[in-house]
Structure 1
Amino acid sequence: MTSTDYMVTELSQKGLFQGMHKGMTLTSAALVLAFVLFTGLGPQLAGEIFGTARTWIESTFSGYYLVTVMLLMAVCAFIVVSRFGSIRLGSDDSRPEFSNFAWFSMLFSAGIGIGILFFGVAEPVFYLDDSGAFGYPNNPHADMAGATAIGHERAIDALRVSVFHWGLHGWAIYVIVGMSLAYFAYRRGLPLALRSALYPFIGERIYGPIGHLVDILGVLGCVFGVATSLGLGVSQMAVGLQRLVGISDGLDTQLILIAGISLISILSAVSGVQKGIKIISELNIWVSVLVVGAFLLGGPTLWLVQAFGATLLDYAANFIPWAFGMPTSPGRPPGSRPGPSSTGAGGWPGPPSSACSSRASREAAPCANSCSACCWCRP
């Protein structure tokens, strides 16, 4: 089966499922619905099951994860300096559709926008905190360096860890997935789906059950990833509204925010990249520049510039040994390490406890570590 045959015979040509594989769409939707019902009807049981699963995954695959991410970084570096870096992600005569500014705006806004909005503030503060409210050190790297009390040295170390977590490692994963999709879709004419990245390994079988399974897993990964970021962002927005105008930050407010954000996202997606995503992304970057500029000019400007420069230099000098940090002391949770942080293997940020991201979630599944006293959940 060729790509054209697949699109003609396997994808719906009209109706509600036009352009989609009906079987995979319904299967993915059913799995997502089952997950939502399970977590909604039994939040405590779901929290225990998912927490146990996460602990097992981190303790079992941490080493594999760390090595894999470093290999992906090496592949990215090789592509940059080799002749493969000059291959166009399209036909030989194709040219970029967007400017560099528009492209970077969409990468940051649509890729990590809501995540960095939450963690950009919460993560450095978490590493600055010295309460150890979760039963393990907030920042073991700073503790071992002697910066055990909240102060200048611990603040600088908190910034270093945060820069590491939002640095090259996470982007290496994004780049490899993005290049794989773009190359096989726009250069080789294969479907714009995760299955196409397997074409060099299994050939035409990407159009069979293996390809269907890969795409379904991809859909689930996207849904759960977006749900996590959206949940954190909505919790932050609800608390902000409560502080500013006195609106309750309860479940009703959060559901309204989710509905509003989802509606805007759908409208921007269906209106096309040029009209929707591009405009919103560029606006988001300009607003971010204004906010950062206001803090830079209104705060201790020289100190902020020096701290930023120092963290970048320290990151450049240490990101390789930090990337291979593994637990060495008993009592730390799986994925924690004496290196830069204790949030998880590989350094890509995530809340220390799935039950600690909002007041509503604490009420549904109270944290055994009294995390309401820590900086993540402090009212």
Structure 2
Amino acid sequence: MSDETTQPGIPEPEGPTELIDTDYTIGQDNIEGNVGPFGFDIHNPVFMISGLSIVAFVFYALALPEQAGAIFGWLRPFLTSTFDWFFLSAANVFVVFCLALIVLPVGSVRLGGREAVPDYTYVGWFAMLFAAGMGIGLMFFGVLEPVYHMAISSPLGVPSPFTEDGQLIPENVDAARTMGLAATIYHWGLHPWAIYAVVALALALFTYNKGLPLTIRSAFYPVFGERIWGWWGHVIDTLAVFATLFGLATSLGFGAQQANAGLNHVFGVPENVTVQVILITAITAVALISVLRGLDGGVKVLSEINMGVAALLLVFVLLAGPTLTILSDFASGLVAYGKDLPALSNPVGREDTGYMQGWTAFYWAWWISWSPFVGMFIARVSRGRTVREFVICVLLIPSLVCVLWMAVFGGTAIDQVLSDPATSAVKAQVIDSYNPPMSLFAMLEGLPLAAITSVIGIILVIVFFVTSSDSGSLVIDTITAGGKIDAPVPQRVFWCTFEGAVAIVLLIGGGLGALQAMVISTGLPFTVVLLLMCWAIFKGLLSEKR
């Protein structure tokens, strides 16, 4: 979902303004890394276990691609049909927990201590929260998902506006259109940002207020005590590495497929796995160059330009598309989302299992996998905010940005489909043949300057790809180095390389299904980690002086 997790220029986490529990730092020496071969700052055993496991996974998938593909093909439907209730219930817990923090007295706790002041103005902070909500996910799903839910998945049993032979059913149009947007907003609104807020708040609280390292295990001191410096902590950090890496690989795979589709659409480049592997390899190489040059060597400027271009594309589609209809969709989608939220969140007795298992369960696992990635970025820009202020803004600001994006891109696409089903490129690519990577370019084809905006779309996907890979390698490196933020460059090179390698072997071993299977399988155990994290956060907040 995000690509701006490690913006250059963000101040490194400082020590606490006021340590409330000074014994929290006892035992930290147990996770100090040691410089090993090839310049790696090895955090034993997290680095060794996670690094060797990823290497073994890559070689296995390359050596036995058919067997790996069969396993991936079985894994996703098994996990989503078996644990859909667990993913939905856990996500509901995260939302309720965050809402409770807003109204409880602990909401007045200030991140960094009572005397801490924010590092950024509201405008700057909101801009970076906005950045956290942008990425390959919105580019890939912005058109696809609203159209798909309107016409195919039938969330909550709302019927499709099309017959089986593609004829429009006028009386179903309004309800299906509204549900398509509401069902999409559900996946990009409060629930994912509550997941991110939990991890971000834990990292900020235990780093700024308790003086612990910037790593996932630190949040569990109130639960496990000194054991976080031993195997309990090693297991937590290792799960965080696996979840983050496979969540990132999923996004990189989506990005490669969408870039390939755009290149095929505009320039006639063949659309196949070979081209996608070449794209991942080339873009990973660019990310490696930025790793070697440092974040200030160009990625910061490139990322800022990318965000500006994304905003311009948003404005262009809003103005070139059916503007009044889009604004109406934004409002009606939010209203429908609020009305249908209890039913969409209900994990029991649902008949729309295709939507709940195929989309919601996958999304919650993906967001949970991304949570260390996005959470670390949000934590690093939120020092000085109260918990109440933090939770309200992290839930609302990025959610509204995502809703606006979906209303503009998805609303335009829906309008194209319903206005002229016979000639709509979006209907052909999403409803008739289901070609997800082409959905964005099909929508742009129906607007002026399609050749230019399609090239811009390709560039946006590729640059999001580069910055995601680079910043993702830093997040994983920080976790495997025990919370250090200045680990040697060769270590980041290792993780950057294998992020690309994992995305490649998953594409070879089963395409989108394989990517989704692995993100669900790693998101499942990490969901348990996040549930425990809620209790740890509450205990940590209770110990603070307000």
The residue aligned with 1:375 is: none
Q: Is the 8 A contact 2:31 2:44 kept in 1?
A: no
C-alpha displacement of 1:243: 1.2
Kindly, what percent of the aligned residue pairs are identical? Answer: 33
The alpha-carbon deviation at position 209 of structure 1 amounts to 1.0
Deviation at 1:342, TM superposition (A): 4.8
Partner of 2:329: 307
Q: Which residue of 2 aligns with 1:353?
A: none
- 5+ residue gaps, structure 1: 131-137, 351-355, 369-379
Q: Distance in 1 between matches of 2:79 and 2:31?
A: 39
Matched letter for residue 296 of structure 1: L
CA deviation after TM superposition for structure 1 residue 327, in Å: 5.0
AA aligned opposite 1:259: T
Choose 240-249 or 272-281, whichever is displaced more. Answer: 272-281
TM-score by length of 2: 0.56
Aligned to 1:119: 141
- Residue by residue over 1:197-256, the C-alpha shift from the partner in whole angstroms, topping out at 9 and shown as x without a partner, is 211111010010111111111101100000001100110011101111222333443234
Task: Compute the displacement of 1:70 (Å).
Answer: 1.2
Determine whether 1:345 maps to 2:367: no
Task: Assess, with a 3 A threshold, how the Cα gap between structure 1 residues 73 and 123 changes in structure 2: closer, same or farther.
Answer: same
Taking a change above 3 Å as real, the CA distance of residues 16 and 244 of structure 1, as seen in their structure-2 partners, is same
* 2:310 is equivalent to residue 288 of structure 1: yes
Superimposed CA distance per residue, residues 39-79 of structure 1 (whole angstroms, 9 cap, x where no aligned partner): 23333322332343333333333223222211111111121
Change beyond 3 A, Cα 1:367–1:167: closer
Contact 2:260 2:271 in 1 (8 A): yes
State the partner residue of 1:320: 342
- CA distance change for structure 1 residues 102 and 269 in 2, over 3 Å: closer, same or farther? farther
Mapped to 1, the partners of 2:128 and 2:238 lie a distance apart of: 25
Preserved CA contact (<8 Å) 1:163 1:315: yes
Query: Does 2:239 correspond to 1:217?
Result: yes
1:310, distance to aligned residue in structure 2 (A): 0.2
Q: 2:88 aligns with which of 45, 66, 70?
A: 66
| 1:9, distance to aligned residue in structure 2 (A) | 6.6
Where 1:345 maps in the other structure, the secondary structure is helix
Residues in 2 aligned to 1:248 and 1:187: alpha-carbon distance in whole angstroms: 53
Mapped to 1, the partners of 2:511 and 2:225 lie a distance apart of 49
Amino acid across the alignment from 2:264: Q
TM alignment of 1:120-135, pairs within 5 A: 120-130=142-152
CA contact 1:102–1:278 (8 Å) conserved in 2: no
- Counterparts of residues 11-50 of structure 1 (less than 5 Å): 11-12=33-34, 16=38, 20-50=42-72
* 1:198 alignment partner, one of 204, 217, 220: 220
Aligned 8 A contact 1:169 1:346 in 2: no
| Mapping for residues 57-96 of structure 1, pairs under 5 Å | 57-96=79-118
Summarize the alignment of residues 216-365 of structure 1 with structure 2, pairs less than 5 Å apart: 216-265=238-287, 279-326=301-348, 328-329=350-351, 336-337=355-356, 342-345=358-361, 348=364, 365=510
Q: Secondary structure at the match of 1:247?
A: coil
CA distance in 1, matches of 2:297, 2:120: 12
**8 Å contact 1:72–1:176 — kept in the other structure?**
yes
The reply to whether residue 139 of structure 1 matches residue 154 of structure 2 is yes
Q: Is the 8 A contact 1:106 1:282 kept in 2?
A: no
Structure 2: which amino acid aligns with 1:305?
L
Q: What code does the residue aligned with 2:116 have?
A: S
Give the corresponding residue for 2:535.
none
Name the stretch that deviates more: 35-44 or 91-100. 91-100
1:57-115 deviation digits (Å, cap 9, x = unpaired): 33333223222211111111121233323323224333333444554454454565111
CA contact (8 A) 1:89 1:183 kept: yes
Aligned-partner residue type, residue 361 of structure 2? A
| Structure number with higher helix proportion | 2
Decide which moves more: 57-66 or 117-126: 57-66
Among 197, 200, 216, the alignment partner of 1:178 is 200
Measure the CA separation in 2 of the matches of 1:119 and 1:44.
28
Q: Which amino acid letter does the alignment assign opposite residue 344 of structure 2?
A: W
8 Å CA contact 2:253, 2:507 repeated in 1: no
How much does 1:305 deviate?
0.6
Matches of 2:229 and 2:177, distance apart in 1: 52
Distance 1:110 1:275, change over 3 A: farther
Q: Give distance in 2, aligned partners of 1:279 and 1:104.
A: 19
Equivalent-residue separation in structure 1 for 2:228 and 2:365 (angstroms): 33
Q: RMSD in angstroms over aligned alpha carbons? A: 3.6
Check whether the contact 1:267–1:276 (CA below 8 A) recurs between aligned residues. no
Q: 1:167 to 1:9 in 2, by over 3 A?
A: closer
Q: Evaluate the alpha carbon distance shift between residue 363 and residue 30 of structure 1 in structure 2; reply closer, same or farther with a 3 A threshold.
A: closer
Indicate if the aligned counterparts of 2:144 and 2:436 stay in contact, CA closer than 8 A: no
Bigger relative contact order (CA 8 A; separation at least 6): 2
Q: 1:235 to 1:106 in 2, by over 3 A?
A: farther
Q: How many residues align?
A: 350
2:97 maps to amino acid: V
Q: Distance in 1 between matches of 2:183 and 2:75?
A: 26
| Cα pair 1:28 1:220 within 8 Å, conserved | yes
CA distance in 1, matches of 2:358, 2:36: 50
- 1-side partners of 2:77 and 2:131: how far apart? 30
Looking at structure 2, the residues matched to 51 and 2 of structure 1 have their Cα atoms a distance apart, in angstroms, of 44
Name stretches of at least 5 consecutive residues in structure 2 with no aligned partner. 1-22, 367-434, 439-503, 514-546
Q: What secondary structure does 1:97 align onto?
A: coil
User: Match of 1:344, as an amino acid?
Assistant: T
Whole-angstrom distance in 2 between the partners of 1:101 and 1:276? 24
Residues 146 and 184 of structure 2 are in contact (CA less than 8 Å); yes or no, is this contact kept in structure 1? yes
1:194 and 1:218 in contact (8 A); partners too: yes
Post-superposition shift, 1:280? 4.5
